[in-house]
């Protein structure tokens, strides 16, 4: 076996020491960076909850539109608007599953707030010249009752606005059921009215989510100002 000179051994040892000295801190830094990366990924993003709710609203729209569009395309392109029962059932079930999933992710409807009972207004001395006095000379206390009655519509209106998307999904499901029945009825004249009701129900759902889902206001130049969300219930869809 050949014996290496002492200088070559020393040079080899020095190179190894230098490599260890360089790679050691680098490996430690890489491990530290990896740890910091994992810690950063696990930390919550400030304000993410509200934004995630908006993203879920958009996901609900896309998740419902796709199966409804599949059903409409199949119904309107079929010969005489008629589909085999198995195909119609399959398409209708896909819509039903999507609506159920979207309904499950909607925010809970707030409970109706209780309206506090206002104290009655004490009777005032009779003043003949006042128009609000009654025949007995007491003051008209209808103002307090009107104030109580005014709070009830506002409470009902806020709950109706919060529940509007759920109402739209329920109405859409009824319209889809009617369309599935129409495309298997053998009567082509029923298809277009039923499909129109489905399109209307889908538009109702999209508008209810856009206006009532807490989404940010659009800022594209040229877009008109969006109207405020109505507080009443959705109108009934036209009968097929």
- pLDDT of the residue at 158: 44
Which residues are CB-contacts of 177 (< 8 A; sequence separation ≥ 6)? Answer: 92
Beta bridge partners of residue 139, listed in sequence order: 133
| pLDDT tens string 75-110 | 999 999 999 999 999 999 999 999 999 999 887 665
- Please say whether the dihedral angle defined by the alpha carbons of residues 122, 123, 129 and 135, taken in this order, is positive or negative: positive
- pLDDT of the residue at 46: 80
- pLDDT of the residue at 36: 55
Show the low-confidence residues of the chain (pLDDT under 70): 1-43, 108-162, 213, 228-240
Contact between residue 175 and residue 67 where contact means Cβ atoms under 8 Å apart: no
| pLDDT tens string 109-129 | 655 555 566 666 666 666 665
CA distance linking residue 112 with residue 132, whole number of Å: 33
Beta bridge partners of residue 133, listed in sequence order: 139
Q: Which two tokens stand for residue 174?
A: 């009824």
User: How many angstroms separate the Cα of 236 from the Cα of each of 98, 129, 167, 198?
Assistant: 22, 51, 11, 12
- pLDDT of the residue at 155: 47
Q: Whose CA is closest to 144, among 115, 106, 177, 178?
A: 115
- pLDDT of the residue at 106: 81
- pLDDT of the residue at 121: 65
Enter the pTM of the model: 0.59
Q: Which two tokens stand for residue 35?
A: 């740890």
CA distance linking residue 39 with residue 62, whole number of Å: 33
Query: Under DSSP, is residue 4 helix (H, G, I), strand (E, B) or coil?
Result: coil
- pLDDT of the residue at 141: 45
Characterize 54-87 residue by residue with b for buried, 16 or more Cβ atoms within 10 angstroms of its Cβ, and e for exposed: eeebeebbebbeebbeebbebbeebeebbbeeee
Q: Is 232 exposed, middle or buried (0-12, 13-18, 19+ CB in 10 A)?
A: exposed
Neighbours of 206 (CB within 10 A): 16
- pLDDT of the residue at 157: 47
């Amino acid at each position: 076996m050949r014996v290496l000179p002492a200088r070559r051994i020393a040079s080899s040892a020095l190179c190894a020491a230098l490599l260890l000295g360089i790679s050691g801190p680098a490996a430690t830094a890489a491990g530290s960076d990896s740890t910091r990366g994992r810690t950063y990924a696990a930390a919550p993003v400030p304000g993410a909850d509200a934004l995630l709710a908006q993203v879920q609203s958009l996901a609900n729209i896309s998740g419902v539109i796709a199966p409804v569009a599949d059903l409409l395309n199949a119904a309107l392109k079929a010969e005489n608007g008629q589909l085999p029962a198995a195909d119609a059932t399959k398409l209708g079930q896909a819509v039903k599953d999507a609506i159920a999933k979207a309904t499950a992710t909607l925010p809970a409807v707030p409970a109706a707030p209780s309206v506090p009972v206002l104290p009655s207004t004490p009777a005032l001395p009779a003043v003949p010249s006042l128009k609000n006095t009654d025949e007995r000379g007491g003051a008209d206390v209808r103002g307090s009752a009107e104030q109580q009655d005014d709070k009830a519509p506002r409470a009902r209106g806020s709950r109706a606005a919060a529940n509007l998307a759920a109402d739209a999904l329920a109405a859409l499901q009824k319209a889809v059921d009617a369309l599935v029945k129409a495309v298997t009825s053998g009567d082509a004249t029923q298809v277009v009215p039923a499909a129109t009701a489905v399109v209307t129900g889908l538009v109702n759902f999209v508008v209810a989510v856009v206006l009532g889902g807490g989404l940010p206001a659009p800022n594209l130049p040229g877009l008109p100002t969006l109207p405020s969300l109505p507080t009443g219930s959705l109108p009934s869809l036209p009968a097929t």
